[in-house]
Structure 1
Amino acid sequence: MRVAFFGTRSYDRHYFDAVNAARPSSEQHELLYLEPRLTAQTAPLAAGFPAVCVFVNDSVTADVIGQLAAGGTKVIALRCAGFNNVDLAAAKSHGITVVRVPAYAPDGVAEFAVALLLTLNRKIHKAYNRVREGNFSLDHLEGFNLAGKTVGVIGTGKIGQIFARIMLGFGCRVLAYDVAPAEDCLKRGVQYVSLDQLAAESDVISLHCPLMPATHHLVNAALLAKMKPGVMLVNTSRGGLIDTKAVIHALKTHHLGALAIDVYEEEEGVFFEDQSVDGVQDDVLARLFTFPNVLVSGHQAFLTKEALSNIASTTLDNLSCLQRGEVCANRVEKS
């Protein structure tokens, strides 16, 4: 199948080419890598391609899908788990099949969330910069022991379960909130509570739930007000889970003790791009950078060798499955 890849980077090419070459010749696909993100302006580049492959920062709106359909595209293959950037109703109306990679880096993302937590808590990023300038002072580098602290996990899918297990290993009391409690968490002693109780009792809160209408701005002014003063908030899931302006207010009043994010609700067109020449033009994101107790990374939690290999394998398997006329288990449809 001929596939137009949008928003590709060097690591995409490396892993997809390697995995594609290792497949039987009959199962290999013709891959065209495009650097621009998929938008209404770049959609015409996919004309004549039966499939397009997109990532979390591509804009797969009704307008874009209409253009893809007009150009002959029949498949939208997401090389990620999230699909909130795809208008599924529009895809269905145009007869376009949407497939995804449901779980490719649960360990990597959970481990990265822990890395953000530890870095921010123990001020490792500050110490690194100081030492490189010859400053070995320890002033204002105090952190806190994780052992004995209460950690709240919002969302206990595969990533949340792994994060919870790691926190239990640190000697933490782990609270969780999810509409469907995970058996693994229950067996290990994780306590499921209401969202309000989790907010009130947690010293650290980590987000691991999908973005959907019910979870959009889940962390808002009302929930922040219920949180324990000085709480640390970590988000490696989806930016839209957090009302960023409300979080900034909580940081300014010192109610929120620290924030670590790998995702941002307006990251489209900013993350995955080099903004160093012109500077970040997003005023809200720029404001976050001014806080000494905020750590921002650029949506890299998934970026491990294992994850990239799994993404490539599953994506190409999805395409082969559809090419054979079979029902793909990783198909995403409008509910």
Structure 2
Amino acid sequence: MKVAFFSTKSYDRESFQNHLQDFGHQISFLDVQLDSRTVSLAEGHEVICSFVNDHIQKGILDKMAKLGIKLIALRCAGYNQVDIKAAKELGIKVVRVPAYSPEAVAEHAFALILTLSRKTHKAYNRVRENNFSLEGLTGVNIHGKTVGVIGTGAIGRAFCRIAKGFGCKILAHDVVENEEMKRIGVTYLPLKEVFAQSQIISLHCPLTPETKHLINAETLSFMQKGVALINTSRGGLIDTKAVIKSLKTKKIGFLGIDVYEQEEHIFFQNLSEEILQDEQISRLMTFPNVLITGHQAFLTKEALEQIALTTLKNITDFEEGKPLINEVVIS
């Protein structure tokens, strides 16, 4: 099938081209993000392949339908950026990559925790300037801490197993309690209790209308003073203004985020020669106890290979009329 591949980066080209010969699809790699202006580049294609910051709403879907697009192949797990209902009404199928490498994201979340708790990012910069002083680098142990995990899907479970290895007490909240997690010692509690008892909180739930701004002024008030907050899931889970206020009052001891609510205007781009217009992320970067990475938690060789293989198979299954096991379906 002919595939218009939006928001292409060099690592996308490499991982997909490594497997294209096994599937036979024709891919047009496009550097631009998918929006109402660029959707016309999909003319002559049957499939659109998009990523997390390609927002596909009804107006864009209408244009896709007129272009003859039959399938949207998301090369990510989340699908909140797509109007699934409108796609269904237009007869456009949507498939995704539900799990590529849960360990990649879980390990990155823990990398944020370890970096912030031991201030290794500060030590790295000091040593490069021949400053070997230890003043101001006192950290905290992870061992023995109570870690709250919000969402125990594949990534949340991988995170729990890592936390278990560090000797943490693990509390969790999910609409569905996982028996495997219970067997390794994870205790499920109501959300408010997880917030209240945890010294470290890591978010691993999807972004839905119910979870939007899950971290807000009210829920932050439940948390312990000096709580560590980690988000490698979706930026919209956090009310950034409320978090900035909590950083200023030291309610949040440290913050590690790989996602940001307005990231589509910033992430995946080199803006080193520009002045950031987003005042909130600029404010976050002034705090010494905040670490931001640009949505790179998924970015491992293993994860990229699985994303490519699953996406290409999703397209092949559609072409051959096979059941779409990774189709996004709403009731």
| TM-score, structure 2 as length reference | 0.99
Given the alignment of the two structures, is residue 254 of structure 1 paired with residue 250 of structure 2, yes or no?
yes
Deviation at 1:334, TM superposition (A): 2.6
- 73, 89, 92: which is aligned to 1:93? 89
Residue 236 (structure 1) aligned to one of 232, 238, 246: 232
Q: Residue 131 of structure 2 aligns to a residue in which SS? A: coil
Paired with 1:263 and 1:153, the residues of 2 have a C-alpha distance of 17
CA distance in 2, matches of 1:47, 1:68: 9
Superposition map of 1:51-130 within 5 A: 51-130=47-126
Does residue 9 of structure 1 match 2:5?
Answer: no
The offset of 1:319, in angstroms, is: 0.4
Shift of 1:173: 0.6
| Residue 18 of structure 1 pairs with residue 14 of structure 2 | no
SS at match of 2:171: strand
2:37 to 26, 38, 41: 41
Distance apart, 1:185 and its partner CA: 0.7
Matched positions, count: 331
1:80 CA displacement: 0.4
Matched, 1:263 2:270: no
| AA in 1 matched with 2:167 | G
Amino acid paired to 2:249 = T
Distance 2:217 2:153 in 1: 25
Partner in structure 2 of residue 170 of structure 1: 166
Identify the residue that residue 141 of structure 1 maps to in structure 2: 137
SS in 2 for 1:264: coil
1:289 aligns with 2:285: yes
Identity %: 56
Deviation string 1:224-252 (CA, Å, 9 cap, x unpaired) is 01100000000000000111110000001
Runs of 4 or more consecutive aligned structure 1 residues displaced over 6 Å after TM superposition: none
Residue 36 of structure 2 aligns to a residue whose secondary structure is coil
Instruction: Write the mapping of 1:142-161 to structure 2, written as runs, cut at 5 A.
Output: 142-161=138-157
Secondary structure of the residue aligned to 2:48 is strand
Structure 2 equivalent of residue 309 of structure 1: 305
Report the alpha carbon displacement of residue 48 of structure 1 after superposing the two structures with TM.
1.8
Q: Which amino acid aligns with 2:314?
A: N
In structure 2, stretches of 5+ residues that fail to align are: none
Shift of 1:333: 2.1
Q: Counterpart in 2 of 1:29?
A: 25
Match of 1:325 in 2: 321
- Distance in 2 (CA, whole Å) between partners of 1:315 and 1:197 is 39
Q: Quick one: distance in 2 between partners of 1:75 and 1:303?
A: 25
1:132 deviates by 0.3
Structure 1, gaps ≥5 residues long: none
Paired AA for residue 7 in structure 2: G
Q: Secondary structure at the match of 2:94?
A: strand
Equivalent position of 2:216 in the other structure: 220
Shift of residue 279 of structure 1? 2.6
* Aligned equivalents of 1:293, 1:34: Cα separation in 2: 37
Q: Secondary structure at the match of 1:332?
A: coil
User: Hey, what's the Cα distance between the residues in 2 that align with 1:261 and 1:34?
Assistant: 28
3-state secondary structure, aligned to 1:36: coil
**C-alpha displacement of 1:135:** 0.9
Letter in 2 for 1:8: T
Q: 1:269 deviation in Å? A: 2.2
Choose the corresponding residue for 2:190, options 194, 199, 212: 194
Q: Find the residue that maps to 1:60 and give its secondary structure.
A: coil
1:272 aligns with 2:271: no
Q: The residue matched to 1:233 in structure 2 has which SS?
A: strand
3-state SS, counterpart of residue 180 of structure 1? coil
SS, match of residue 313 in structure 2: helix
Deviation at 1:168, TM superposition (A): 1.1
Give the Å deviation of 1:327: 1.9
Give distance in 2, aligned partners of 1:202 and 1:101: 31
* Residue 206 of structure 1 pairs with residue 239 of structure 2: no
Helix, strand or coil at the partner of 1:331: coil
Q: Give the letter aligned to residue 293 of structure 2.
A: S
